[in-house]
Amino acid sequence: MVLIGLPGCGKSTVGRQLAKRLNTAFQDTDAVITDRIGMPIRSFFEQEGEERFREIEHRVLAEFLDGGYQGVLATGGGIVLRDDNRECLRQARSVVYLRASPDDLVRRLRHDRQRPLLQVSDPLKRLRELYAVRDPLYRDVATFVIDTGRPSVSMLANLIATQL
């Protein structure tokens, strides 16, 4: 099961709870990438550029899905940008899109200094742009779309677990 959605939608927090409930493994592509590159993603973006990051991200995703990973996998918000990643995601048995509005996301991410794409003077504007481009891509590969507006993390984890 793969979790997709914009930065701050709760892929990692919900994913961890969900994995516990399902008594299965939890992995996060960003954490695997961070281990592999040996530095924070933000520094890697500055030093090597986004394109290099996307290459590594693709390799990591393909390794999980080609390897038949059975646990819960949280992904980076930009995972749906590449065609080949969307192809990979179509092979997964379930892909859950945690949808959140840009207004909610900007509130949740107001103290974030780690996400390279949000270190701008107007993060809400940036999130609206990301939403406009990515929401259709997330929907395109999702087997299940869940609105994260009201429910708590544990309610979301329960909801997803019952939909599997």
- Which residues participate in the annotated binding site for ATP? 8-13, 115
Is residue 105 near ligand S3P by the rule CB under 6 A?
A: no
CB of 94 to ligand S3P, least distance (A): 19
Residue number with the smallest Cβ distance to ligand S3P? 76
73 near 94, Cβ under 8 Å? Answer: no
Chain residues 53-82 in contact with ligand S3P, contact rule CB under 6 A? 76-78
Interaction pattern, residues 13-52, with ligand S3P; x per rule: CB under 6 A: -----------------x----------x-----------
> Would you say 56 or 68 has its CB closer to ligand S3P?
56
Among 15, 17, 80, 115, binds ligand S3P (CB under 6 A): 115
**Binding stretches for ligand S3P (CB under 6 A):** 7, 30, 41, 76-78, 115-117
